[in-house]
Amino acid sequence: MARFKIPLFKLNFDKKEEIAIIKTIRSRWISSGPKVGELEKKFAKLIGTKYSLATSNCTASLHLAMLTAGIKEGDEVLCPSLTFVATVNAIRYVGAIPVFCDVTSEDDLTISPEDIERKITKKTKAIIIMHYAGFSCEMSKIMKISRKYKLKVIEDACHAPLSEYKGKKLGTFGVASCYSFFSNKNISTGEGGMYSTNSSKNYTLAKLLRSHGMTTASFERSNKSSIMYEVLETGYNYRMDDIRASIALVQIAKLRKDILQREKIRKLYIKYLKDIKGISIPFSNFKGKSSNYIFPILADNRDEIRNLLVKKGIQTSIHYQPVHRFKIYRKYYRKLLLTDIVTGKLLTLPMYSSLKEEEIKFIAKCLSQIVK
């Protein structure tokens, strides 16, 4: 990070996170305990679901979502290719088959409802969507398809805490939603995630699976006279610890302000980049609420531009390489015309709430000089 004048991301941390960690350590309970419980209640209230379950990471949440949705070996799950590979890995964890769907357009990088419907077969059991960059998928169309064909919808909302679709929070449409607290996300804890649902049955099962299938956790047993427990499922160790939960609680308190600032930054980017030839801005006409997790652009000669930006001290990234072209997933290859075009041009510019207008101007000036 130090070698870049303008890094891709900066943590929204201050002394509040430090104090929260110290208090948790001094409480003498640092594994999964009261802070995790507090976080789960606050997160469920924040996004508007009945239940939330803190996990070790979003990948664990996605696996729990597959298991609680009843996805089995040989089932087909429709999914985007333009996503982080974990979205698709979770499908394979349960032995299901990923069926890759194209993006909607070069302006809308979310999964195409039309391509979803084209690829439904008798084996299709679920649709997993990803709200790319914090911008909502076309949920009315997707939920209509899910009802028509009796398919489960799972929302990978790792980019989208507090994002909305037509006034309704993302993560509240499907049978489950999953969130990431990785270090560069809107809510940062280093590692960590959340599984959310409105189903008491799915929540109960997910809670069992999260901790070895045990009926009671260590913290619950510590407050009871009995130390006995039963094991009801072949579970996993997907727990979050109280140290990370204490950080997440501070981060949640900052989230609304952080997202409001990101919206201002997005508008400044559009202002200074809109007239540069050879560059287009996906979601430029989006009118709803977005977390603005990242700021993607499409640029001709992307790799050359990226290398020259590095020389100017500007860090960039690519979100993401298409999953259907990774070696492990080539046997599930589908021709995705728009995804292949888009992923050859995608470039992620710096985005964080403390990014200054003069820094955005500098990025725009550099891009303008480079594309000329």
- Annotated active-site positions, please? 185
What's the residue count for the chain?
372
Q: Strand 176-180 vs strand 193-197: parallel, antiparallel, or unpaired? A: antiparallel
Place of tokens 């333009």: 82
* Contact between residue 343 and residue 337 where contact means Cβ atoms under 8 Å apart: no
Place of tokens 């430090």: 18
Q: What is the spatial order of strands in the sheet that 152-156 belongs to?
A: 51-55, 193-197, 176-180, 152-156, 124-130, 76-80, 97-101
Amino acid residing at 258: D
